[in-house]
Structure 1
Amino acid sequence: MVKDIVYTVRVEFGDCDPARIVWFPNFFRWMDAASRHFFVECGVPPWHETEKTLGVIGTPIVDTHARFVKTASYGDMLELHTSIAEWRGKSFVQRYRVMRAADLILECDEVRIFAARKPGDERGIRAVEIPPEIRRLCE
């Protein structure tokens, strides 16, 4: 059974373009928030804590594929259903289904890595193996 965690967003006027539909980058902002919400709901500590204990500073995106099905507008309540579609060695596929009641608005798969700082390079990052304790919490 795959965990499906729901993150809810109310679309505000400022989230929309002049045609009164959600400006598409906002969906990616909400999906990023839903990604972190997924891990929190699974019991994964905040990234500043996992950096101290596991060296993991977060899960940046390395690839994304979205399919927009219907539009959304201000006042809509959206549910972002988030799950892990596939675990890999240093990456995973996070799947989103954005729903407005029974209407599918958007489907998206993101490939994300578990990142750590590069030794000797405070600003650089590198992909690391997925910590088994995080994977266990999220399965």
Structure 2
Amino acid sequence: MREVLYTQRVAFGDCDPARIVWFPNFFRWIDSASRHFFVECGVPPWHETEQTLGIIGTPLVDTHARFVKSASYGDELTIHTTIPEWRTKSFVQRYRVMRGADLIMECDEVRIFAARSTDDPKGIRAVPIPASIRALCA
């Protein structure tokens, strides 16, 4: 299973008045780590995959997070990202947010590979994961 690392330095503005990272920021960072995973695997930008494969991105459909320790400004966090499970149209992306050897937060997300809806130009639909993308990420 491929693992990609993404580094995030906690800024003062990422924290609440108690100097603890405000929890929604973790979800912003792991969303960035999700796209970073695909970039590091060699998957082209979504605007290119839309032209070649019809894929516009990998929207989130479910998430489960567990916060273990707090983080504060100045901390350097490393987000370890893997895909432990591939399904037909969706996949599980796992994140482990670490500060050195300390686990700060872990999260599993279910994401789909999405294309534009054929019935509604503003809608999206789940589509089978292209074999070429899956091969790049293996």
Q: What TM-score comes out, normalization by structure 1 length?
A: 0.98
1:109-128 equivalences in 2 (<5 Å): 109-128=108-127
The equivalent residue for 2:128 is: 129
Q: Distance in 2 between matches of 1:13 and 1:91?
A: 36
1:121 is displaced (CA, Å) by 2.0
The equivalent residue for 1:51 is: 50
Residue identity opposite 1:123 in structure 2: K
| 1:138 equivalenced with 2:137 (yes/no) | yes
3-state secondary structure, aligned to 1:39: helix
Residue identity opposite 2:73 in structure 1: Y
3-state secondary structure, aligned to 2:123: strand
1:122 is displaced (CA, Å) by 2.0
User: Identity rate of aligned residues, in percent?
Assistant: 78
1:4 is displaced (CA, Å) by 0.5
Q: Distance in 2 between matches of 1:125 and 1:18?
A: 39
Residue identity opposite 2:63 in structure 1: T
The equivalent residue for 2:97 is: 98
Q: What TM-score comes out, normalization by structure 2 length?
A: 0.99
1:120 is displaced (CA, Å) by 4.1
The equivalent residue for 2:85 is: 86
Q: Distance in 2 between matches of 1:120 and 1:93?
A: 27
Q: Distance in 2 between matches of 1:123 and 1:47?
A: 17
Q: Distance in 1 between matches of 2:115 and 2:86?
A: 18
The equivalent residue for 2:37 is: 38
Aligned CA-pair RMSD? 0.5
1:31 is displaced (CA, Å) by 0.4
Unpaired runs of 5+ residues, structure 2, are none
Q: Residues 97-133 of structure 1: CA distance to partner in whole angstroms, max 9, x if unpaired?
A: 0000000000100000000000142210000000000
Residue identity opposite 1:12 in structure 2: A
1:69 is displaced (CA, Å) by 0.3
Q: Distance in 1 between matches of 2:112 and 2:66?
A: 22
The equivalent residue for 1:22 is: 21
